[in-house]
Amino acid sequence: MTGRNSNALNSLMSDNPRYAEMFDVNSQSANVGVDGDRDYTDDMNTLRDRAPVHQGSLRGLLGVPEIAGHAMGPPRNEMTFFSYRACEIGFRENLLFSSEGYNESAGVRTIGTTILSMVGKPHKRLRSAAQPLFKRPKVIDWWNKRWIEETVDTLLDRLLDQETTDLNFELCARLPMATVTRAIGLEGEDVIEFRYQLDRATFGAANLPPEESAASRAWVDQTLRDLIAENTRAPGDNLIAGLLAAEIVDEEDGYKRKLTEDEIFGYCKLTIFAGGGTTWRQLGITIDALMNHRQFWDACREDRSLVDAAVEESLRWRCTDPMMPRVSTADAEVEGVFVPEGTRVYLCFGAANHDPAIFERPLEYDIFRKKQANMGFGFGPHRCLGIEVARQEMIVAINGLLDRFPDMTLDPAKPKPEYRGLEHRGMTAVPVKLR
């Protein structure tokens, strides 16, 4: 394993063209059919103001075409929840509004057994097994020290001699991808190759010949199998070793066992998708927000405890993934609207996070606003498992920028970056003048 660390850091600095291919918000597979020149925020908020619950899918209500291969599954009655209260019910009542509907997505099915599409006791058991690896003490003492701080330092130090850069590619895309991929034990060029092949094997498979997506799936699974075998022989200091040591326990039923290979595969793939994609886009959104609200950038520079608030407010103000699907398992009434059993429900928490019934001046970015729970990383039993890892990546990255480039501004010579996308929203670029 000698030289692994330097190889990994060298790969972060490479000009591999796959960075540009994978980390362009308008080319994300989930944004197929979306108008790349349009921000749908106002449209979603207008629908919420008209009614808390609407008949129809989010795409249908916004006039965005459903794309073959990207639909959630077989035809169903469809409804979308827009208000904070409606989305809160959809998230909290997970047995009534079941996340098992994810199993109807071809892309999710190819990931394997994950907590994303489970409910009740099976979900609790599988989530609890890995939860200690993603809790705050472990994130601060392990993720930060092992991967995040070193990766941020490497990426930002290479910018010290530059006057301008696009942080979308040089920082936002590289940091979370390297963090989560290295966390499972990959180094060197395998960091970006794994992410590339995983996308082709799952959500990007709809755009590929079947034999190509199958080859990518075989590559990913064999890579994970090799990592499991390596950590079985000699446990390393990484996520796979942690998952191999974890146990699913239910004291009430006297139930205990190790994770299966498929469950470990699922955790690794989900961690890379959620961590490598969501954090990339949200970090860019947060930096852009601070650049456009100089008073908050200056406040964070003087009081670093405010960086956490800046990140949290960006999750409310412009969350990168504004919708999650569910399927109703029984007839229900939500906000006075009848929701029949078997309905596919879309929880539009992008609009819920702007609900004036909950948030004062909801359209404003304000890091000093009163603390209230937002849904930027989900809510209830299925709140993002890796939220603390994502938070720390963004907090460490912004602190690193404040340390090195305290007078950083948006680059006036470059086109103004735009917030774009629908299911996967982010900045078209983050061009900055470093000093």
Phi, psi of 365 (to 5 degrees): -90, 115
Return the axis-axis angle of helices 387-404 and 294-302, rounded to nearest 10°: 90
pLDDT in tens, 255-297: 789 999 999 998 998 888 777 788 999 999 999 999 999 999 9
* Per-residue confidence band for 1, with pLDDT thresholds at 50, 70 and 90: very low
The side-by-side arrangement of strands in the sheet containing 431-433 is: 164-166, 431-433, 409-410
Where is pLDDT greater, at 117 or 341? 341
Q: What pLDDT sits at residue 28?
A: 66
Q: What is the arithmetic mean of pLDDT over 52-67?
A: 93
Tell me: pLDDT of 12 over 90: no
pLDDT at residue 65 tops 80: yes
Contacts of 390 (CB under 8 A, 6+ apart): 176, 275, 278, 279, 282, 377, 384
Give the pLDDT score at 2: 34
pLDDT at 326: 95
Q: Which residue has the higher pLDDT, 47 or 423?
A: 47
> pLDDT of 184-197, one tens digit each?
998 777 878 888 88
Taking the C-alpha atoms of residue 350 and residue 363, their distance in angstroms, rounded to an integer, is 11
The contacts of residue 434 (CB under 8 Å, 6+ apart) are 159, 162, 163, 164, 165, 404, 405, 408
Count of all residues that appear for the chain in the document: 435
402-417 pLDDT, tens digit per residue, is 999 999 999 999 999 9
Q: Which domains does the chain have, with CATH numbers?
A: 35-433 (1.10.630.10)
pLDDT tens column, 346-371: 999 999 999 999 999 999 999 999 99
**pLDDT mean over 52-72:** 84
Please say whether the dihedral angle defined by the alpha carbons of residues 362, 296, 410 and 431, taken in this order, is positive or negative.
negative
Q: What is the mean pLDDT of residues 374-387?
A: 91
- pLDDT given for residue 101 in this prediction: 84
**pLDDT (tens digit, 9 = 90+) per residue, 87-137?**
999 999 999 999 988 888 777 777 878 898 899 989 999 999 999 999 988
pLDDT band, residue 34 (cuts 50/70/90): confident
Centroid of chain to Cα 332: 30
- Among 34-48, 286-300, 341-355, where is mean pLDDT lowest? 34-48
Q: What is the mean pLDDT of residues 299-317?
A: 97
Q: What is the pLDDT of residue 7?
A: 54
Instruction: Please give the pLDDT value at position 398.
Output: 98
Q: How far is CA 11 from the centre of its chain?
A: 22
Please determine, for residue 30, whether its predicted confidence score (pLDDT) is greater than 70. Answer: no
- Give the Cα separation of 284 and 174 in Å (integer): 12
- Residue 361 in contact with residue 54, Cβ under 8 Å? no
Residues sharing a CB contact under 8 Å with residue 246, sequence separation 6 or more, in sequence order: 129, 130, 132, 133, 258, 259
Look at residue 29 and tell me whether its pLDDT is greater than 90.
Answer: no
Predicted pLDDT of residue 61: 97
How much is the average pLDDT of 43-51? Answer: 98
Closest CA to 424 of 347, 328, 330, 350: 350
Q: What percent of the chain has pLDDT over 90?
A: 66
CA dist 295 and 272 (Å) reads: 34
Rounded Cα distance between 425 and 431, Å, is 17
Q: What's the whole-number average pLDDT of the chain?
A: 90
- Please tell me the chain's helix, strand, coil percentages from 3-state DSSP, rounded to the nearest 5: 55, 10, 35
Residue 142 predicted with pLDDT over 60: yes
Return the C-alpha torsion angle 250, 251, 255, 260, nearest 10: 40
Q: How confident is the model at residue 219 (pLDDT cuts 50, 70, 90)?
A: very high
Strand partners, 324: 347
Written as one letter, the residue type at 203 is F
